[in-house]
Amino acid sequence: MLRLLLGANLLLAGGALLLAPRLGEWPSQFVELAAWTEPVLFATLGFLALARNWLWHLRPLTGQALVLGLVAAEALLLFDFWHFMGLTEGGWGPALRVALLAVALTLPLLLYFSLRARAFSPAVAEARLQALTARIRPHFLFNSLNAVLSLIRQDPRRAETALEELADLFRALMRDARDLSPLSTEIALCRQYLGLEKLRLGERLKVEWAVADVPDDALVPPLMLQPLLENAVYHGIEPGDGPGCLRIAIARHSAGPGGAITIELTNPSPQGQSHHTGNRMALANIRERLDLYYDLEAKLESSDSQGTYRVRITLPLRRQTP
């Protein structure tokens, strides 16, 4: 959507540059052209948004032809309207020219999108999502097993619970993680994970949750939060000199058309920790997944200052369709 608007306007600016006799007239030329194109652009976007589900079922070529036809028709209508208002001359020649121009503007954009779609085709994207879905650190698995082993003789019941949680956690980690998953499920998974970490780290790990007015059925990428927590424990809590606190804040924002969710994770960042490459890789991984799920609509920021490491993810709010 954003790419469409930007792309059209860039082409427009280029066109205006071609038409303008001097550089000074470029902006005014641009505005004039915009008056021509923006109505068509917005009408097309409206149509596409309304007919999206129906268009999905068509063959790509038919769909593209349809969009081209639509744009031409809209351009003609607009031309007719301007003519009616007495702003331009009428006649078949200019009308045909307008329709062709509209098609010529649309064609490169359509080509760009079909190329992009091919690069991100479902099969490719799916394989990449699979590969990117974070795997649990073996470090965590073996240390947890070790902690459970130490419980078996002293506290068999707690050992049982811990093994059950470990089983749940692994089931979740090994499931097919393609579709967005409800936030409540992800939070439950994280709580289980943190419970197991607490078993071995004891008082050293403190956790604070702040989840404010986020709908339970909000959808988020699966297994995105858990690996972030695992990183925070591995880099932030384990090497720390004393107890450390993980803070997870999830909140709803009204930004964007449907609202947005922000997930913010803060943890101490002990100095002298030079091996942050693993962490950077994990972040790059999540960034790429966000890209595949949301394109430009999601973002991930991280900062490390004054002994505090912070990761902040903003996602468009999507909810489960009943």
Q: Tokens for 103, please give them.
A: 């098609």
Q: Which is nearer to another protein, 199 or 263 (CB)?
A: 199
Q: Tokens for 233, please give them.
A: 């424990």
Distance CA 69, CA 128 (A): 35
Q: Tokens for 184, please give them.
A: 């409540």
- SS3 assignment, position 30: helix
Q: Tokens for 73, please give them.
A: 């028709």
Q: Which is nearer to another protein, 15 or 195 (CB)?
A: 195
Residues 69-128 that bind another protein (CB under 8 A): none
Among 42, 84, 112, 142, binds another protein (CB under 8 A): 142
Query: Least distance (Å) from another protein to the CB of residue 201?
Result: 7
Q: Tokens for 314, please give them.
A: 């903003």
Among 24, 138, 257, 322, binds another protein (CB under 8 A): 138
Q: Does 185 bind another protein (CB under 8 A)?
A: no
Query: Least distance (Å) from another protein to the CB of residue 150?
Result: 4
Residue type, 13: A
- Torsion angle, CA of 319/297/220/118, rounded to 10 degrees? 100
Region of 31 (left: φ > 0; alpha: ψ -120 to 50; beta: rest) is alpha
Q: Which H or E run includes 3? A: helix 2-19
- SS3 assignment, position 9: helix
Residue 16 pairs with which residues in a beta bridge? none
Query: Least distance (Å) from another protein to the CB of residue 135?
Result: 13
- What's the Rg (C-alpha) of the chain? 27
* Main-chain dihedrals φ then ψ at residue 121, nearest 5 degrees: -60, 150
Query: Least distance (Å) from another protein to the CB of residue 304?
Result: 17
Interface pattern 239-258 for another protein (x via CB under 8 A)? xxx-----------------
Query: b or e along 56-70 (b: 16 or more beta carbons within 10 Å of the residue's beta carbon)?
Result: eeeeeeebbeebbeb
Among 275, 305, 321, 322, binds another protein (CB under 8 A): 275
Residues 221-240 that bind another protein (CB under 8 A): 238-240
Closest CA to 161 of 146, 153, 151, 170: 151
Q: Which is nearer to another protein, 128 or 200 (CB)?
A: 200
Query: Least distance (Å) from another protein to the CB of residue 131?
Result: 20
Q: Does 149 bind another protein (CB under 8 A)?
A: yes
Q: Does 151 bind another protein (CB under 8 A)?
A: yes
Size of residue set near another protein by CB under 8 A: 27
Interface pattern 32-61 for another protein (x via CB under 8 A)? ------------------------------
Q: Does 12 bind another protein (CB under 8 A)?
A: no
Residue ranges in contact with another protein by CB under 8 A: 137-139, 141-143, 145-147, 149-151, 153-154, 199-202, 204, 238-241, 270, 272, 274-275
